[in-house]
Structure 1
Amino acid sequence: MILEHAEFHIHPGKQAEFEAAVKLGVETIISKTPGFIAYQLQHSVEQPETYFLFIRWETLEAHVVGFRESPAFPAWRAVVGPFFASAPNVMHLREAHSTF
């Protein structure tokens, strides 16, 4: 399993709209991609314009090929992109240890 970690900085005052857009985009677009497992959106307490999106994928290829190279990716960006104050930072994680 791979955990995608995306950090978003959005325009001030758009938190509720962004959260709704992410929910809509994940549930209607990303979740339809083969290899998608689950997602979680976290909101920074100290930096109210910062969000972290975690998506569990079966494999790295499910995300970088199956989703990012498909028509679903521009559809996703059309839903959430207008809220971005800067380009998202995305990385992929593999669990090393956990009690979580």
Structure 2
Amino acid sequence: MILEIANIRIAPGQQAAFEEAIQRAASTVISNAKGFKGYKINRGIESPELYVLMVFWETLENHTVDFREGPLFPQWRAIIGPFFASPPHVEHFSLVAKS
């Protein structure tokens, strides 16, 4: 399993609207993507405009090819993109250990 982590900074004062939008986008768009296994969204405490989106994928290609190059990505970005204060920083991780 692959973990995608996206650090998302939104415009100040848009937290409630962004949280509704990203939950809607996750449940109606990304959840239909090939290899999608689940997600978590966390909001910063010290920086309430900063969010960490964690998406679990079966393979790296499920995110980088199937989703990012497919028809669902523009739908996803249309819902959450207007809230971005800057482009999200995205990286992928593989599990080393867990408890």
Tell me what 2:44 maps to.
Answer: 44
Could you tell me the TM-score, scaled by structure 1's length?
0.97
Structure 2 residues without counterparts, runs of 5 or longer = none
Could you tell me the TM-score, scaled by structure 2's length?
0.98
Structure 1 stretches of at least 4 aligned residues deviating more than 6 Å after TM superposition: none
Aligned residues: CA RMSD: 0.6
Amino acid at match of 1:41: I
**Structure 2 residue 65 is the aligned partner of structure 1 residue 65:** yes
Whole-angstrom CA distance in 2 between matches of 1:91 and 1:11:
22
Whole-angstrom CA distance in 1 between matches of 2:6 and 2:80:
13
Structure 1 residues without counterparts, runs of 5 or longer = none
Number of residue-to-residue matches in the alignment: 99
Tell me what 1:28 maps to.
Answer: 28
Tell me what 2:10 maps to.
Answer: 10
Amino acid at match of 2:27: E
Whole-angstrom CA distance in 2 between matches of 1:31 and 1:98:
24
